[in-house]
Amino acid sequence: MATNLWTRAKAYFVRIEECGDAWARRRLTAEEYAEASDLDRLIKLHFWKWFAMFVAATLVGGLIVLGISPEMSFAKAAVGSGVVILYALAAVASAWYGYRKWAKHPFWYILGIFILLMLAGTLFGFSISSFMSGRAFTDLAWERVARGASVALLLGIGASAVLLTIARLRQREALQRAARLEAEAERERLARQSIQAELKLLQAQVEPHFLFNTLANIRHLVQTGSPDAVVMLDHLIRYLRTALPEIRAEGSTLGREADLARAYLEILRIRMGGTLSFAIDIPDELAREPFPPLMVITLVENAIKHGVAPQGRGRVDIRAAKQGDRIHVTVEDDGRGLQEPIGQGIGLANVRERLRAIFGESASLALSGRDGPGTRAVIEVPA
């Protein structure tokens, strides 16, 4: 029976809590609701500690009241002190968590409300005393009424001053916190703008570097009167149609980067008389993955310049793979291998700077030798 009653009581209180929560969601702002939820969790987490402190404070308060008014019973003194303590706790919690509403009003407004409440409470208390003693209200000692009203007046002034001070301090803290958050957001915005500006500058350095090398190749083929000039021009047109929209673009895809590399390598294959071979393996599911523009072509240029070109022939392989939440893009050549310290070239340094500007520390470029002749460059970025 007792267990059943306890279960029903718990269900009843849960229902009350749900209704209160629904009411709070409708009436409070998101920030106010978050603060109220924090208070609710704090009370639930330390409920028995708070309860023990309240009981101890009530008993001590009852003893103090009993010392002031020995004629009063201890039960009445304890109940009275408990009510006062509950009221004080509720008022402090209201000022602490409801500071937005408190701080909207001037001091005299809060003071007037507290004085009226204190006086009303005093009169109500004497009315209850009159009813319980069976004496008419007019028969009560007016000296006691006046003394009670004076105490209520002083308590109202003191309580309103303390609580309004709490509310104003909380408001100042909230304004300072909001100012800090706004300043941090502004710093982040300026940092992003700076990164974008740096990225544009680095990307602008790639464009002439790539285009001048390509134009030099075309000039050489035209000067030699190669019969493949028309085919090469077709590849150049295809390259420019793909590349020009990306010159000022902030992003590209692996598919477009593969098309650029294919057009570029076709041009070089013709120029080298067929001694250059290549393969590009970009799975269809990765072709639409975002990727920084002109990075793959920079690695291809690096492979041609430092690996294939010095020996007059060779092969370049480009492939992409997804491993977990990372995308790996690999450019390999079978040329002469690493002949200088890794990462000393301008093009590779440029790629690293652009990766840092876009992804921070979550992306990387690694250069290493292969098992056989040649070099392997791997760009790793978040998927």
pTM above 0.95, yes or no: no
* Start-end of CATH 3.30.565.10 domains in the chain: 226-382
More confident residue, 237 or 103: 237
Looking at residue 118, what is its pLDDT? 67
Residue count of the chain, please give it: 383
Say if strands 290-291 and 252-253 run parallel, antiparallel, or are unpaired. Answer: antiparallel
How would you label 223-233 residue by residue, b for 16+ Cβ within 10 Å and e otherwise? eeeeebeeebe
The lowest-confidence range among 7-16, 19-28, 242-251, 276-285 is: 7-16
pLDDT at 13 over 60: no
CATH architecture of 226-382: 2-Layer Sandwich (3.30)
pLDDT band at residue 65 using 50, 70 and 90 as cut-offs:
low
pLDDT for 3: 58
Q: Is the pLDDT of residue 53 over 60?
A: yes
Looking at residue 316, its pLDDT comes to 95
Q: Cβ–Cβ contacts within 10 Å for residue 81, how many?
A: 20
Residue range 307-364, pLDDT digits in tens: 888 888 999 999 999 998 999 999 999 988 776 554 456 678 778 888 887 888 899 9
Residue 375 and residue 329 in contact, taking contact as beta carbons nearer than 8 Å:
no
Task: Give the separation between CA 319 and CA 321, rounded to whole angstroms.
Answer: 7
What's the pLDDT tens digit per position in 80-136? 777 777 777 777 777 777 767 666 767 667 667 766 766 676 666 666 655 555 555
